[in-house]
Amino acid sequence: MPGAAPFGVNLIVHKSNPRLDADLELIVRHQVPLVITSLGAIADLVQVVQGYGGLVFHDVTNVRHAEKALEAGVDGLIAVAAGAGGHAGTMSPFALVDEIRRFFQGPLALSGAITRGHQIAAAQMMGADLAYIGSHFIASEESLASPAQKDMVIGAGPADIVYTDRVTGVGANFLRPSLEAATLPEPHGALSVSEEAKAWKTIWSAGHGVGATTAVQPARSICERLIAEYQAALQSE
């Protein structure tokens, strides 16, 4: 795709994803340069992407996930540490990066409550090559999130993030107000999701760094601030 801006696709490879084959077909047709996979590492899929020259990075929340992803032949890893939005792990980023670096020296990104440029510098000092930022861009002007979701992110803080496996079957961080709006009360605090509620669509996710998002801004402005803070952090060493 000559002249296109850098782009990638996040692909859920779990067997519960009914769109997997169709999505993969589109990825191959358009030769997506970067495919981020999660909830399963499939060697055959990795080989298909690598066959046209694409790269596969895989989300991991612990050492065993990282080992299985490398066995499947992925090109890089994304360490999804405690506090990350969506499906996240419970390990400290310090421990997770250190454990992975004991056996993998390839491309490694760190995810989990990163919203500032100095945090990107810190991630690199810890041993990661890249910082992986998601929640902070939910409220960007370019984001396809609804106005209500953007407002909820802007008004939220770390205390408004709930980690639960009761929505998707896997531990994930969600915005408490969206959970409360989508669930029915049950004894013993269990979650009962209404029929209309759906993960990601009506039950919204964000990470512990959500408090740093205070207004809707262009993605360019967010990136410019991150770059300036990152450069300032490097100069202060």
Here the CATH number for the domain that contains residue 127 is: 3.20.20.70
Assigned domain for 50 exists:
yes
**What range does the domain containing 44 cover?**
8-135
CA distance 135 to 212: 10
Domain contains 100: yes
Confidence of residue 39 (pLDDT cuts 50, 70, 90): confident
Please check whether residue 234 lies inside any domain of the structure. Answer: no
Asked whether residue 206 is domain-assigned, the answer is no
What residue type is 230 in one-letter code?
Answer: Y
List Cα–Cα distances, 110 to 79, 96, 134, 159, 229, in angstroms. Answer: 5, 9, 11, 22, 18
State the total domains in the chain: 1
**CB of 13 closer than 8 Å to CB of 42:** yes
N- to C-terminal Cα separation, the chain: 40
Which tens digit of pLDDT belongs to each residue from 47-80? 999 999 999 999 999 999 999 999 999 999 999 9
Q: Look at residue 182 and tell me if it is in a domain.
A: no
A 10 A CB-CB count for 211 gives 18
Q: Checking DSSP bridges between strand 55-60 and strand 76-80, what pairing results, if any?
A: parallel
pTM: 0.90
Residues 131-176 have pLDDT tens digits of 999 999 999 999 999 999 999 999 999 999 999 988 888 899 999 9
Residue 80 falls within a domain, yes or no? yes
Average pLDDT value over all residues in the chain: 92
Ramachandran assignment for 173, one of left (phi > 0), alpha (psi -120 to 50 degrees), beta (any other): beta
If you compute the radius of gyration of the chain from its CA atoms, what whole number of angstroms results?
Answer: 18
Q: Which of 85, 25, 29, 33 is nearest to 59 (CA)?
A: 85
- Does residue 60 sit within a domain? yes
Neighbouring residues of 202: CB distance < 8 A, sequence distance ≥ 6: 178, 181, 182, 196
Residue 228 within any structural domain of the chain: no
CB-based contact 58:69 (threshold 8 Å): yes
